[in-house]
């Protein structure tokens, strides 16, 4: 472990180019706020942000009324200062966080400009963003678990797809939310087990193994959907987890309705975040997991069972992905449609990378990407000339920038993707 820590520091400090590149990205975003929004806005107009999600009389908060032009000037200055600091000094380890904040400010500036002279339900948008971030974040958690142990998981999408289909089918047959959820998790664990056997036992390339699962899950779920679910609608009509406001907390103004008036999946995401963050970084189990992912040979020498640790991590990752998959059918729509996950598993992968292979980072990235999604669905209503498709691209582009700017080769688990052969 010690050697890898030293290596990492070297990588981080040895790349001033990346620091400057990231600074330039900040600068570009800052200038975009100025040119695209601030200079095109009318100083006389004000933007009203409604902070209460529609139709819910909990935690009433007053509307925010902001003067559009000066708000954007302030945002330009803040992001400009961040850019200057990044170019000349550097945020070092916090760079990803700052990038997240800068992107969020950019989005905020965009909203303030797009809704100028009108009112926009920001509370509803944020509440929707939290909900949309659930599958992304859970997918990212699944990735973190697998990759911390050194097994690359690009099959998150396939596992989630499997979970959502089986959840809908079993949930409809048994008419039970709990059984449906458990079945979804088990189906995904089964896929994860296949991934584990192929990549750990047979040592085939983990990206190939992930591709096998993605193709297989796509084929299987579409097949079942066409052959069984569409023919027999009663088999595709599972119950849905209801909205579950938490007493007291849900009545806090602004945050209450956004965070504490959601369904079970949102709370489970918060609990999982805490559990994973602590167990990966503060417990002996987590230390072993990371050791296996960083330097399996050293871990083996110290008596850690590398193979067993990896199996466990991949299966747990599968369970989390299946839980995330169940969100699509049991947590929001109440029906399975083919290709339902629509790339959320891959955005989850992106969130994991943006979040630097940590649960807390993945969560932040998941929220940001969920926010981008939430806006993309509302752009048409806002009547802006920016096509919604460009908003949906934001997570992918951000990930590529992060990968080029900071992460590069240094930050991922050192033995990620390498099968372990005991000597």
Partner 1 sequence: MKNETDKTKPAVSIEEISTNILASATKKKSFWSALVIPGLALLTGLILGALFIIVTSGEVYSAFQISFGSGLATSWEIVSKSYLALFQGAIGNPAAMVQALISGDQLEIRRAFNPFLESLVVSTPYIFAGLAVALGFRAGLFNIGVEGQLFIGAAASTFVGYSIKGLPAIIHMPLALLAGALGGAFWGFIPGWLKAKTGGHEVINTIMMNWIAFRFTEWLLTGPMTRPDSGRMPVSPIIEKSAEIPQFFKQPIRFHLGFFIALGAAGLVYWLLFKTTWGFNLRTVGANPRAAKYAGMNIAKNTILAMSLSGALAGLAGANQILAINRSMAIGLSAGYGYDSIALALIGNSHPVGVVLAAILFGTLRNGATRMMVTTRIPIDIISILQALILMFVAAPAIIRSIYRLKPPKAEDEKAAFVGSWGGK
List contacts with partner 1 (CB under 8 A).
18, 152, 154, 198, 202, 204-209, 211-216, 218-220, 222-224, 226-228, 343, 346-347, 349-350, 353, 387, 389-390, 392-393, 396-397, 399-400, 403-405, 407-409, 412, 414-418
Neighbour-count burial of 409, counting CB atoms closer than 10 A to its CB (0-12 exposed, 13-18 middle, 19+ buried)? exposed
Q: How far is CA 261 from CA 52, 60, 229, 252, 364, in A?
A: 12, 13, 32, 10, 20
CA 51-54-59 angle, 5° bins = 50
φ and ψ at 48, to 5 degrees? -105, 125
Terminal Cα distance for the chain, rounded: 20
Six token digits for residue 359: 């649960």
What is the C-alpha to C-alpha distance for residues 245 and 260, in angstroms, rounded to an integer? 6
DSSP E strand stretches across 11-141: 46-49, 64-67, 119-120
* Nearest one of 371, 380, 374, 376 to 390, comparing CA atoms: 376
Per-residue DSSP letter, 237: -
Place of tokens 């959320």: 344
What residues form DSSP beta bridges with 66? Answer: 47
> Which helix (H) or strand (E) segment is 167 a member of?
helix 156-174
């Amino acid at each position: 472990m010690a050697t890898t820590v030293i290596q990492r520091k070297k990588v981080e400090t040895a790349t001033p180019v990346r620091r400057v590149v990231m600074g330039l990205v900040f600068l570009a975003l800052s200038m975009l706020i100025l040119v695209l929004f601030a200079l095109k806005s009318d100083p006389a107009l004000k933007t009203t942000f409604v902070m209460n999600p529609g139709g819910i009389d909990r935690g009433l908060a007053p509307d925010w009324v902001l003067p559009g032009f000066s708000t954007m000037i302030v945002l330009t200055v803040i992001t400009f200062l961040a850019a200057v600091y990044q170019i000349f000094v550097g945020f070092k380890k916090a760079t990803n966080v700052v990038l997240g904040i800068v992107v969020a400010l950019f989005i905020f500036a965009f909203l303030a400009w797009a809704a100028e002279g009108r009112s926009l339900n920001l509370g509803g948008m944020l509440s929707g963003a939290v909900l949309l971030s659930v599958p992304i974040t859970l997918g990212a958690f699944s990735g973190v678990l697998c990759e911390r142990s050194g097994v690359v998981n690009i099959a998150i999408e396939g596992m989630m797809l499997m979970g959502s289909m089986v959840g809908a089918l079993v949930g409809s047959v048994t008419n039970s939310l709990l059984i449906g959820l458990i079945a979804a998790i088990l189906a995904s664990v089964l896929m994860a087990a296949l991934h584990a056997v192929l990549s750990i036992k047979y040592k085939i390339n983990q990206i190939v193994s992930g591709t096998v699962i993605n193709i297989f899950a796509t084929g299987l779920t579409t097949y079942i959907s066409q052959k069984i679910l569409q023919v027999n609608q009663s088999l595709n009509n599972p119950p849905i987890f209801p909205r579950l406001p938490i007493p007291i907390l849900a009545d806090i103004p602004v945050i209450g309705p956004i965070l504490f008036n959601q369904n079970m999946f949102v709370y489970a995401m918060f609990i999982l975040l805490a559990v994973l963050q602590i167990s990966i970084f503060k417990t002996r189990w987590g230390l072993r997991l990371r050791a296996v992912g960083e330097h399996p040979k050293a871990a083996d020498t110290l008596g850690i069972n590398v193979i067993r640790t990896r199996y466990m991590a991949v299966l747990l990752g599968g369970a989390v992905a299946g839980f995330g998959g169940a969100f699509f059918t049991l947590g929001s729509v109440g029906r399975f449609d083919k290709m339902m996950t629509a790339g959320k598993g891959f955005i989850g992968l992106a969130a994991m990378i943006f979040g630097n292979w940590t649960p807390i980072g993945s969560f932040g990235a998941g929220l940001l990407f969920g926010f981008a999604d939430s806006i993309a669905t509302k752009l048409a209503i806002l009547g802006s000339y920016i096509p919604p498709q460009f908003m949906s691209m934001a997570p992918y582009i951000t990930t590529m920038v992060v990968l080029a700017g900071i992460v590069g080769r240094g930050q991922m688990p050192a033995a990620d993707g390498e099968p372990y052969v005991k000597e």
